[in-house]
Amino acid sequence: MIDNLRTYLNTHSTTNSRWLCRNMNMKIGGWFRYFSISNVSYPYTSAARVEEYLGYKLHKMFKRKSQRKSRICNRGVYKTLVNDYGLIKVTKWVKLGATVNA
């Protein structure tokens, strides 16, 4: 999953924030829906790793995107994208139990 997000963020680093969040929601949500099976898989540990990676990578990307200090970078990129632009908070979403019954 992290490799998939890495290639996606590297190829779409200049896109609009809302469009980026909408497409990442589809990728992350689809991945966790596909690989989450109740009583078999434990997606929370993967979600925590993905959330940590997204926080790091998005901060790095937006800092590079705006050479001057931008409002998004000052307030925390991941937190701002979750609160203002609709990016799903991965660990909270996985805790809600979006799993597949196998």
Residue 89 lies in a domain: yes
Residue 25 lies in a domain: yes
Contact 69, 77 (CB under 8 A): no
Condensed to tens digits (0 to 9), the pLDDT of residues 7-36 reads: 999 998 888 889 999 999 999 888 887 777
- Count: domains in the chain: 1
Structural domain boundaries, residue 47: 17-95
Residue 45 lies in a domain: yes
Condensed to tens digits (0 to 9), the pLDDT of residues 42-76 reads: 778 888 898 999 999 998 888 887 766 667 777 78
Whose CA is closest to 80, among 6, 10, 18, 13?
Answer: 18
- pLDDT for res 98: 56
- pLDDT for res 75: 76
